[in-house]
C-alpha cells in the first residue's frame, strides 16, 4: 500500500509516517517511480509505535523495542530493554502518585470552605 493508504488506514499523517521511517520505526520499499510501498503488517507496526509514543517512550527506545515485540526475537537481547521499559513504567507510576497527592491536597483545601475573595 502507498503512504496515503497507510495514513488513511491508521489515522496517522503522512508526515508522521515519513518521520517513523526516518527514525527506523517503519520500513517501506521504493517503487521505480519513487513512491513508498508498505506491507500489510505496517498497519500493526504503526499502531504499536503510536501506543509506545502514547506511553511516553522515545523513538530511540521504540526502535529498540520493535524487534523484541515480534514472535521470533531472541529473549537474551531483549532482557535489558525490558528492564529499561520497566523503569519508564515505574517512573510513570511515581508521577501518577505525585499527581494524586497534589489533587488530594487541592480537594482538602476546597472542602475546608474556601470562599473566593475579591481581587485587590
Q: What is the pLDDT of residues 12-24, one digit of tens each?
A: 999 999 999 999 9
* Helices 59-69/75-111 angle, 10° precision: 130
In a domain, 79, yes or no: yes
Domain harbouring 11, CATH code: 1.10.1660.10
Read off the pLDDT band of 76 (50, 70, 90): low
In a domain, 120, yes or no: no
How many structural domains does the chain have?
1
Domain, as residue range, for 69: 3-111
Question: Which residue, 60, 27, 36, 65, is CA-closest to 48?
Answer: 65
**119 Ramachandran zone, left/alpha/beta (phi>0; psi -120 to 50):** beta
User: Residue 116 pLDDT more than 60?
Assistant: no
Read off the pLDDT band of 85 (50, 70, 90): confident
- How confident is the model at residue 37, as a pLDDT? 95
In a domain, 75, yes or no: yes
User: Residue 73 pLDDT more than 70?
Assistant: no
Question: Which residue, 87, 67, 63, is CA-closest to 75?
Answer: 67
Per-position b or e across 56-75, b if 16+ CB within 10 A of its CB: ebebeebbbbbeeeeeeeee
In a domain, 78, yes or no: yes
In a domain, 119, yes or no: no
Q: Locate cell 517503487: which residue?
A: 31
In a domain, 118, yes or no: no
In a domain, 116, yes or no: no
Measured distance CA(19)–CA(13) in Å, rounded: 10
Distances (CA, A) of 42 to 26, 28, 30: 7, 9, 15
In a domain, 117, yes or no: no
Amino acid at each position: 500500500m502507498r503512504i496515503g493508504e497507510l495514513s488513511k488506514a491508521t489515522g496517522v499523517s503522512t508526515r508522521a509516517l515519513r518521520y517513523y521511517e526516518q527514525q527506523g520505526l517503519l520500513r517501506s520499499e521504493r517503487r521505480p517511480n519513487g513512491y513508498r510501498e508498505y506491507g500489510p503488517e505496517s498497519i500493526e507496526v504503526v499502531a504499536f509505535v503510536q501506543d509506545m509514543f502514547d506511553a511516553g517512550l522515545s523513538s530511540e527506545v521504540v526502535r529498540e523495542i520493535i524487534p523484541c515485540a515480534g514472535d521470533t526475537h531472541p529473549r537474551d537481547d531483549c532482557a535489558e530493554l525490558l528492564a529499561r521499559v520497566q523503569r519508564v513504567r515505574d517512573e510513570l507510576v511515581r508521577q501518577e502518585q505525585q499527581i494524586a497527592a497534589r489533587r488530594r491536597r487541592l480537594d482538602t483545601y476546597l472542602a475546608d470552605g474556601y470562599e473566593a475573595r475579591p481581587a485587590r
